[in-house]
Amino acid sequence: MIAPVSPALPPAPLAPAVVAVAANPFVSLAYLVAGVCFILALRGLSSPTTSQRGNRFGMIGMAIAVVTTLVTHVPSIGSGWTMACEIGEANCPFGSQIDWVAVFEILAAIGLGALIGITTARRIAMTAMPQLVAAFHSLVGLAAVAVACAAFLNPVAFDIADMVVPMIGQPFASIHVVSRVEMALGVAIGAITFSGSVIAFLKLNGNMGGKPILLPGRHALNAGLLGAIVILVAMFTRDQSPWIFWTITILSFAIGFLLIIPIGGADMPVVVSMLNSYSGWAAAAMGFTLHNSAMIITGALVGSSGAILSYIMCRAMNRSFISVIAGGFGASDAASGGGAAVDRPWKRGSAEDAAFLMSQAEQVVIVPGYGMAVAQAQHVLREMGDLLKKEGVRVKYAIHPVAGRMPGHMNVLLAEANVPYDEVFELEDINAEFAQTDVAFVIGANDVTNPAAKTDKSSPIYGMPVLDVEKAKTVLFIKRSMGGVGYAGVDNELFYRDNTMMLLADAKKMVEEIVKALG
């Protein structure tokens, strides 16, 4: 609670006051329950079998947090200086008349956001889910920037001012030093998250190519900008001049673009999880500014879990975590060139050939990729697997950690098609079995099956662990044409192996023909 301000002070046109129940123990309890729900949500999302339960916990926790915040922070109309007063406080100098216009605006914004969210969730295709996630991250970052800017322009309303009298020579009230640190970090991380997510969205959506865009002198430029931001944040703790704050904001927007542009398509799943982490830290920083423990807890959970996921994926891809988060620091111009499809002899097969080979096999390992997602072939693929099992064939699904465009993309698609969880295996669990596999059925998975990752040091995917499908007796590879390359921009050597048979067609149409042949 802030002590009443002397009536001798001149009135200032600030934002409507917020009536808050800061000392109410039920508020802290509600936020604690919401935090526990978020922890249970993350725990549930760690496994496909418990993911639905995890989602429910997340929704319950968010509902508790939002409702608690709305109930305990009611916009009120004050006179003169406006600031937070406890509900029911007898000595509140400005009264507690509710500002119904502000309440209506808040509820209208919530309703509009809910309408957009529900409509998007119902209409979005699974192939566009990575783009949607990147877009959501950008909105979180932009929200953090908006909150930081609002707090800087009106620190009294946010209760982060040391004094309510404007300082001589400065248009703003003096802001707590600690609040300046929180504000500067929040706006910097939020701006980086927003601009980086915009670039990620453009790359994932196909508006930008999957090859790394390597600007000359990018390392020195990025290091210089990051160093300047750190210096300005330090300066901001001593001097809250507007030019420092706005320069931090502008430079942070710029560094977000520059960090993501040089990252190639093969590393985009790591970028998605990394931006998820950034959005969490931005939210946590703004939680301190808003004095909201639920935001701090949620932001810290999202930030830490996203960072851990990024690190795990980097290890799975044999990538340096520092190199990726520094903007593809290890990328080279030679590697970025990739390679177009080359004119070499290859074998072409038909649906009938594929059906015969798989029906005679003891074990078939299906390797799904982004091509399956594009064609929405997961349901007919499961039907094909069921028919093969009726023929006595052992069927398994092999999932690469970065197959698709975001972590877990293929797992979600297979779960949507009701593929049994015990038939789905990760790379480290299935790779040793390819040597004893009769048929490896690859449906739209390009970069994650490319043997060049193990042999070609000039390849942008060199060093990335891949599925050893070339060790199977026969490889059936569904692809639209021989002219295209993978998302990383390189041709796949697997196409030209003696044991590989290419099935050139739309993935869903080809699998439907195979199902007919098996029937």
What's the one-letter identity of residue 210? G
pLDDT, residue 363, reads 94
Residue 208 has pLDDT above 60, yes or no: yes
Q: How far apart are CA 131 and CA 453, in angstroms?
A: 26
Same domain, 449 and 373: yes
Q: How far apart are CA 489 and CA 11, in angstroms?
A: 62
Same domain, 168 and 300: yes
- With a pLDDT cut of 90, the percent of the chain lying above it is 30
pLDDT, residue 16, reads 44
**Quick check: is 342 in a domain?**
no
Same domain, 225 and 278: yes
**Quick check: is 345 in a domain?**
no
Q: Taking residues 458-475, what's their average pLDDT?
A: 85
Q: Provide the mean pLDDT of the chain.
A: 80
Q: Taking residues 113-131, what's their average pLDDT?
A: 82
pLDDT, residue 239, reads 87
Same domain, 37 and 159: no
Residue 402 has pLDDT above 90, yes or no: no
pLDDT, residue 265, reads 65
Better-predicted residue by pLDDT, 309 or 343: 309
Which residues, in sequence order, are CB contacts of 33 under 8 Å at separation 6+?
Answer: 61, 64
Contacts of 380-386 spanning 24+ positions with Cβ under 8 A: 380/508, 380/511, 380/512, 380/515, 381/417, 381/443, 381/511, 382/414, 382/417, 382/418, 382/419, 383/515, 384/511, 384/514, 384/515, 384/518, 385/419, 385/423
pLDDT confidence of 487, banded at 50, 70, 90? low
Instruction: Give the H/E segment covering residue 100.
Output: helix 100-123
pLDDT, residue 374, reads 82
Residue 352 has pLDDT above 70, yes or no: yes
* pLDDT, tens digit (0-9, with 9 covering 90-100), for 148-164: 998 888 887 777 776 55
Domain containing residue 68: 1-123
Residue 481 has pLDDT above 70, yes or no: yes
Residue 22 has pLDDT above 60, yes or no: no
Same domain, 169 and 238: yes
Residue 230 has pLDDT above 90, yes or no: yes
Same domain, 135 and 77: no
pLDDT, residue 87, reads 41
- With a pLDDT cut of 70, the percent of the chain lying above it is 81
Q: Taking residues 100-113, what's their average pLDDT?
A: 88
Domain of residue 433, CATH code: 3.40.50.1220
**Secondary structure class of 193 (helix, strand, coil):** helix
Q: DSSP of 410-454, one letter per residue?
A: HHHHHHHTT--GGGEEEHHHHGGGGGG-SEEEEES--GGG-THHH
pLDDT confidence of 202, banded at 50, 70, 90? confident
pLDDT, residue 393, reads 93
Same domain, 132 and 224: yes
Residue 443 has pLDDT above 90, yes or no: yes
Burial class (CB in 10 A: 0-12, 13-18, 19+), 422: exposed
If one counts the domains in the chain, the total is 3
Q: Do the beta carbons of residue 78 and residue 157 sit within 8 Å?
A: no
**Quick check: is 344 in a domain?**
no
Q: What are phi and psi of 50, to 5 degrees?
A: -115, 10
- Boundary (domain end) residue, out of 88, 123, 158: 123
Same domain, 100 and 130: no
Same domain, 449 and 464: yes
Residue 7 has pLDDT above 70, yes or no: no
* pLDDT, tens digit (0-9, with 9 covering 90-100), for 323-333: 766 655 445 44
Helices (DSSP H) in 161-292: which residue ranges? 177-204, 218-236, 242-260, 268-289
Q: How far apart are CA 397 and CA 255, in angstroms?
A: 40
pLDDT, residue 276, reads 86
Same domain, 112 and 168: no
Q: Taking residues 56-64, what's their average pLDDT?
A: 93
Same domain, 198 and 302: yes
**Quick check: is 109 in a domain?**
yes
Q: Do the beta carbons of residue 22 and residue 88 sit within 8 Å?
A: no
Is residue 447 annotated as part of the catalytic site, yes or no? yes
Residue 475 has pLDDT above 60, yes or no: yes
Cα 185 to Cα 180, 190, 198, 448: the distances in Å are 8, 8, 20, 37
* pLDDT, tens digit (0-9, with 9 covering 90-100), for 232-246: 999 998 888 899 999
Packing angle of the helix pair 293-316, 51-72 (nearest 10 deg): 150
Q: How far apart are CA 60 and CA 501, in angstroms?
A: 49
Q: Taking residues 435-439, what's their average pLDDT?
A: 93
**Quick check: is 50 in a domain?**
yes
- Boundary (domain end) residue, out of 337, 363, 394: 337
Same domain, 170 and 318: yes
pLDDT confidence of 18, banded at 50, 70, 90? very low
pLDDT, residue 381, reads 94
Set 99, 159, 447, 468: catalytic member: 447
Provide the strand spans (E) within 305-447. 363-368, 394-399, 424-426, 439-443
Residue 71 has pLDDT above 90, yes or no: no
422 token code pair: 């015990």
Q: How far apart are CA 180 and CA 187, in angstroms?
A: 11
Residue 260 has pLDDT above 80, yes or no: yes
Residue 283 has pLDDT above 50, yes or no: yes
What's the one-letter identity of residue 345? P
* pLDDT, tens digit (0-9, with 9 covering 90-100), for 288-302: 888 888 889 889 998
Closest CA to 80 of 164, 167, 13: 13
Q: Taking residues 260-267, what's their average pLDDT?
A: 75
Which residues, in sequence order, are CB contacts of 107 under 8 Å at separation 6+?
Answer: none
- Boundary (domain end) residue, out of 123, 141, 156: 123
**Secondary structure class of 99 (helix, strand, coil):** coil
**Quick check: is 465 in a domain?**
yes
Residue 428 has pLDDT above 50, yes or no: yes
Q: Do the beta carbons of residue 192 and residue 278 sit within 8 Å?
A: yes
